[in-house]
């Protein structure tokens, strides 16, 4: 084989390894499989399929396109699949990427890549810390002094040195088998020692570059996970801030009924029990809008008794399709409470609360309006209270700039609060909904 062709192929293969790895990490499912070190049997087969199929296509390309030898990275990625997925993934991946070569008569490729995947998977299995796998680099210190010092201190060769030696040993075995049976196992080979050295170095670098690209994706996902957990913790703190504030005001409403109307007070206590049951569900960051309105019904039943049916009227205009949209839990109650406390309550003859919801393209619009006293722009900040500030902060945490809350008030005529939220996609609703919304927000910002 021409020496120049070998060297050019080695260089192209490095770029191809980086390109294939970069394409793989763009697949959402692959990123999920890569992020979790412990995988089920089904997930291992998924990992085999996702990685092996494009590599197998590269083997076919090598046979179909003359002199495009760099497309065949079956050997290198058999090592990679074993070290990131374990023995089963390495063995399965080695088999799949070898099938095209076997079809073209290179039958020795399958048992060899099978053995390669198992050996790399075994090395993963004996690693004391799986993180050391992702930090592999061929540029570590191989000086005799440090090697002896590490060996004496640990009584064994460290994992990275072992992985380096394994790649060199497998490459040596591959070259010797190719030299003996050139038509049964493909490999770049030349008897010149300098070219062979380049082949060894190219193989190590190919595996290392692919690992580096995958590790960068893992680091990015870890940072996103930490940020998501931080946002969720902050949101839960804001949500718990509402609970005592709301409970205090509701208990004051119920206590006013105990003396002069015990039966009505008992009925209201049942309503309060429903409310407390809802407040105890602190793990639910999001709920369907329908549940939010059901919750508001219990709250307003208490407030209507407190003010009297003639002084507090509730009117709803709810679009049925909007009721299935997932919205932040306990979002409406502070808005309704604010409308009653600062809008209707100051009026001698009371007033009305209007609740509306509708869909607008990919968003849901929710409105809470009252025909109370209203306020001027200068009084807006002092009239919102802890509830409104809490809702504003929670929407910022969950949606960033994707959510909007608007306040329009006219003194003597009332106040309209309009909340516009993006609709989370159904495929993102598994597990933690707060995490799903954050994930959706992150994907749109890329």
DSSP string, 142-200: --HHHHHHHHHHHSS--HHHHHHHHHHHHHHHHHHHHHH-TTTS-----SSHHHHHHHH
**Mean pLDDT, range 278-290, rounded to an integer:** 72
Q: What pairing do the DSSP bridges indicate for beta strands 312-318 and 351-360?
A: parallel
For 133-161, how does the pLDDT look when each residue is reduced to its tens digit (9 = 90+)?
887 876 654 444 455 555 555 544 578 88
What's residue 434's pLDDT? 47
Are 161 and 134 in contact by the 8 Å Cβ rule? The answer is no
Q: Which of 359, 357, 361, 362 is nearest to 417 (CA)?
A: 357
What's residue 444's pLDDT? 46
Least reliable range by pLDDT among 38-47, 239-248, 384-393: 239-248
**Mean pLDDT, range 399-424, rounded to an integer:** 87
Q: Which of 40-49, 65-74, 123-132, 433-442 shows the highest mean pLDDT? A: 40-49
What's residue 337's pLDDT? 83
Question: Considering the chain, what is the average pLDDT of its residues?
Answer: 81
CA distances from 5 to 11, 67, 177 (A): 10, 8, 21
Task: Indicate the burial class of 29 (C-beta count within 10 angstroms; 0-12, 13-18, 19 or more).
Answer: exposed
Residue 35 Cα to chain centre, angstroms: 10
Q: Which of 373, 325, 320 is nearest to 345 (CA)?
A: 373
Are 318 and 355 in contact by the 8 Å Cβ rule? The answer is yes
Least reliable range by pLDDT among 267-276, 312-321, 435-444: 435-444
The predicted model scores a pTM of: 0.61
Are 131 and 125 in contact by the 8 Å Cβ rule? The answer is no
Backbone φ, ψ for residue 370 (5° rounding): -130, 160
Can you tell me whether residue 418 is helix, strand or coil? Answer: strand
What's residue 244's pLDDT? 63
- Six-digit token pair at 418? 């309009």
Own/partner long-range contacts of 126-129 (Cβ < 8 Å, ≥24 apart): 126/159, 127/159, 128/159
Backbone φ, ψ for residue 59 (5° rounding): -65, -45
With cut-offs at 50, 70 and 90, classify the pLDDT of residue 105.
very high
Largest Cα–Cα separation, the chain: 104
What's residue 10's pLDDT? 92
Q: Which of 100, 14, 87, 9 is nearest to 53 (CA)?
A: 100
For 393-403, how does the pLDDT look when each residue is reduced to its tens digit (9 = 90+)?
778 877 878 88
239 has pLDDT over 60: no
With cut-offs at 50, 70 and 90, classify the pLDDT of residue 380.
very low
The residues spanned by each domain of the chain are: 3-224, 256-445
Full DSSP string of 45-68: HHHHHHHHHHHHHHHHHHHHSTT-
Q: Which of 126-140, 254-268, 321-335 shows the highest mean pLDDT? A: 321-335
- Six-digit token pair at 100? 């095209």
What's residue 141's pLDDT? 47
Q: How many CA within 13 A on the CB side of residue 183?
A: 2
Backbone φ, ψ for residue 358 (5° rounding): -160, 160
DSSP state of 220: H
| Distance, CA of 56 to CA of 76 (rounded, Å) | 12
Full DSSP string of 383-408: HHHHHHHHHHHHHHHHHGGG-EEEEE
| Distance, CA of 80 to CA of 75 (rounded, Å) | 9
Q: How many CA within 13 A on the CB side of residue 416?
A: 9
With cut-offs at 50, 70 and 90, classify the pLDDT of residue 431.
very low
* Fold of the 256-445 domain: Heat Shock Protein 90 (3.30.565)
Q: Which of 5-14, 109-118, 149-158 shows the highest mean pLDDT? A: 109-118
What's residue 213's pLDDT? 92
| Distance, CA of 217 to CA of 214 (rounded, Å) | 5
| Distance, CA of 307 to CA of 379 (rounded, Å) | 25
**Mean pLDDT, range 159-178, rounded to an integer:** 92
Q: Which residues of 103-116 are buried (b: 16+ CB within 10 A; e: fewer)?
A: eeebbbbbebbbbb
CA distances from 405 to 232, 389, 418, 444 (A): 20, 11, 6, 21
CA distances from 156 to 7, 124, 125, 140, 167 (A): 35, 16, 16, 17, 18
Least reliable range by pLDDT among 164-178, 344-358, 367-381: 367-381
| Distance, CA of 220 to CA of 416 (rounded, Å) | 42
| Distance, CA of 222 to CA of 225 (rounded, Å) | 5
CA distances from 56 to 44, 63, 359 (A): 18, 11, 47
**Mean pLDDT, range 246-251, rounded to an integer:** 66
**Mean pLDDT, range 8-28, rounded to an integer:** 92
Beta bridge partners of 157: none
């Amino acid at each position: 084989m021409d020496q120049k062709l070998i060297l050019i192929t080695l260089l192209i293969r490095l770029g191809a390894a980086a390109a294939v790895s970069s394409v793989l990490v763009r697949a959402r499912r692959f990123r999920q499989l890569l992020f979790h070190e412990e995988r089920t049997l089904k997930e291992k087969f998924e990992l085999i399929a996702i990685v092996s199929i494009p590599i197998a296509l590269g083997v076919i390309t090598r046979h179909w396109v003359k002199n495009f030898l760099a497309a065949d990275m079956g050997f290198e990625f058999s090592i990679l699949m074993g070290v990131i997925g374990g023995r089963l993934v390495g063995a399965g991946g080695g088999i799949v990427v070898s099938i095209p070569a076997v079809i073209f008569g290179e039958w020795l490729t399958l048992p060899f890549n099978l053995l390669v995947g198992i050996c790399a998977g075994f090395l993963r299995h004996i690693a004391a810390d799986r993180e050391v796998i992702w930090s592999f680099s061929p540029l570590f210190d191989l000086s005799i002094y440090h090697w002896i010092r590490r060996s004496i201190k640990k009584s064994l060769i460290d994992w990275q040195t072992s992985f380096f030696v394994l790649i060199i040993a497998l490459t040596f075995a591959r070259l010797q088998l190719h030299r003996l049976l050139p038509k049964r196992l493909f490999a770049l080979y030349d008897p010149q020692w300098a070219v062979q050295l380049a082949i060894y170095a190219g193989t190590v670098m190919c595996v290392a570059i692919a690992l580096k690209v995958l590790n960068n994706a893992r680091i990015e996902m870890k940072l996103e996970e930490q940020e998501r957990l931080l946002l969720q913790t902050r949101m839960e703190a804001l949500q718990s801030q509402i609970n005592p504030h709301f409970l205090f005001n509701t208990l004051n409403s119920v206590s006013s009924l105990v003396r002069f109307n015990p039966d009505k007070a008992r009925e209201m206590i049942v309503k309060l029990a429903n409310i407390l049951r809802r407040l105890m569900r602190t793990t639910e960051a999001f709920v369907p809008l329908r549940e939010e309105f059901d919750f508001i019904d219990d709250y307003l039943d208490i407030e209507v008794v407190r003010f009297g049916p003639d002084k507090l009227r509730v009117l709803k205009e709810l679009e049925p399709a909007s009721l299935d949209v997932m919205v932040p839990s306990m979002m409406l109650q502070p808005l309704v409470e604010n409308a009653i406390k600062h809008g209707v309550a100051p009026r001698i003859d009371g007033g009305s609360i209007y609740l509306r919801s509708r869909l607008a393209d990919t968003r849901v619009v929710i409105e809470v309006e009252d025909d109370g006293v209203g306020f001027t722009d200068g009084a807006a900040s002092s009239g919102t209270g802890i509830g409104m500030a809490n809702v504003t902060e929670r929407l910022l945490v969950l949606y960033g700039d994707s959510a909007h809350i608007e306040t329009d008030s006219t003194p003597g005529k009332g106040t309209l609060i309009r909340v516009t939220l993006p609709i989370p996609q159904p495929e993102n609703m598994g597990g933690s909904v707060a995490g799903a919304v954050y994930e959706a927000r992150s994907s749109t910002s890329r």
